[in-house]
Amino acid sequence: MQHFVHPVQFKGVEFIRIGSYKKKLKDHSEKARDLWRALDNTPFEREIAAENIPVEQVISLLDYPAYFELLKLPLPEGRDGILSALEADDMIVKNDAGQWNITNLGAILFAKKLSDFQSLRHKAMRVILYEGENKVKTIREQEGTKGYATGFEGLIDFITNLLPSNEIIGKALRNDVPMFPELAIRELVANAVIHQDFHATGTAPLVEIFANRMEITNPGKPLVKTSRFLDSPPKSRNEALASFMRRIGVCEQRGSGVDKVVFQTEFYQLPAPIFETTDEHTRSVLFAHRAFKDMDKADRIRACYLHACLRYVERDFMTNSTLRERFGIEKKNSATVSRVIKDTLEADQIQLYDKDASRKYVKYVPWWS
Q: Are 366 and 317 in contact (CB under 8 A)?
A: no
For residue 234, being part of any structural domain is answered with: no
In tens, the pLDDT along 96-106 reads 888 999 999 99
pLDDT at residue number 39: 58
Same domain, residue pair 313 and 360: yes
Residues 214 and 201 in one domain: yes
> What is the predicted pLDDT for the residue at 357?
82
pLDDT at 3: 46
Q: How far apart are CA 143 and CA 127, in angstroms?
A: 6
Residue 237 lies in a domain: no
Task: Give yes or no: residues 206 and 135 share one domain.
Answer: yes
Is the pLDDT assigned to residue 34 strictly greater than 50? yes
How far apart are the C-alpha atoms of 198 and 85, rounded to whole Å?
A: 25
Answer yes or no: do 140 and 157 share one domain. yes
* 136, part of any domain: yes
The pLDDT of residue 123 is 95
**Confidence class of residue 2 from pLDDT cuts 50, 70 and 90?**
very low
Q: Check whether residue 208 and residue 151 sit in a common domain.
A: yes
Q: Are 328 and 170 in contact (CB under 8 A)?
A: yes
pLDDT per residue over 138-174, tens digit each?
999 999 999 999 999 999 999 999 987 665 555 554 5
Please report whether residue 138 resides in a domain.
yes
Residues 101 and 136 in one domain: no
**Residue 139's domain is classified under what CATH number?**
3.30.565.60
d(CA 265, CA 110): 32
273 Cβ neighbours under 8 A, 6+ residues apart: 184, 261, 262, 265, 284, 285, 286, 287, 306
Same domain, 147 and 220: yes
Confidence grade of residue 178 (pLDDT, cut at 50, 70, 90): confident
Same domain, 159 and 31: no
Amino acid at 183: L
Is 230 part of a structural domain of the chain? Answer: no
Q: pLDDT per residue over 238-295, tens digit each?
A: 999 999 999 998 876 566 689 999 999 999 889 999 999 998 999 999 999 989 999 9
Specify if 239 maps to a domain: no
Last residue of a domain, one of 119, 154, 175: 119
**Among the three residues 42, 58, 75, which one is the final residue of a domain in this structure?**
42
Tell me, yes or no, whether 361 lies in a domain.
yes
Task: Please say if the pLDDT value at position 24 is more than 50.
Answer: yes
Domain at 351, CATH number: 1.10.10
If asked whether residues 53 and 171 sit together in one domain, one would say no
- Paired with 53 in beta bridges are 100
Using the 3D structure, point to which of 119, 144, 169 is the last residue of a domain: 119
Number of domains in the chain: 4
Same domain, 297 and 285: no
What value does the mean pLDDT of the chain take?
A: 87
Residue 333 has pLDDT above 60, yes or no: yes
Is residue 201 very low, low, confident or very high in pLDDT (cuts 50, 70, 90)? confident
Residues 145 and 210 in one domain: yes
* Under 8 Å between Cβ of 41 and 80: no
Range of the domain at 152: 126-224+251-290
pLDDT class for 361, splitting at 50, 70, 90? confident
Query: Are 71 and 166 in the same domain?
Result: no
Instruction: State how far the Cα of 266 lies from the Cα of 252, in Å rounded to an integer.
Output: 19
CB neighbour class for 137 (10 Å; exposed up to 12, middle 13-18, buried from 19): exposed
CA distances from 96 to 51, 88, 99, 105, 118 (A): 11, 17, 7, 20, 23
